[in-house]
Amino acid sequence: MRYFVNDSCIGCGMCAGTCPEIFSMTDEGVAKAKDGDVPAELEDSALRACEECPVGAIEEV
């Protein structure tokens, strides 16, 4: 499982707070997901961030 942040991101920072191992904020003020598969131990928190994004900007790819 891996994630992608699309152009809908409004930069609220929630995902980076919920799962900082996978999501971080760029200098442009939007989120990005780490490249590569999410390690098994981080799947729950990464999924929570995906589900709780207020604008649905996090896609599973």
Give the footprint of ligand SF4 on this chain (CB under 6 A): 5, 9-15, 31, 53-55, 57-58
Compute the least distance from the CB of residue 11 to ligand SF4, in Å: 5
Compute the least distance from the CB of residue 41 to ligand SF4, in Å: 21
Q: Return the number of the residue (14 or 47) whose C-beta is nearest ligand SF4.
A: 14
Q: Return the number of the residue (30 or 43) whose C-beta is nearest ligand SF4.
A: 30
Q: Which residues pair with 33 in a beta bridge?
A: 23
Q: What's the chain's Rg over C-alpha atoms? A: 10
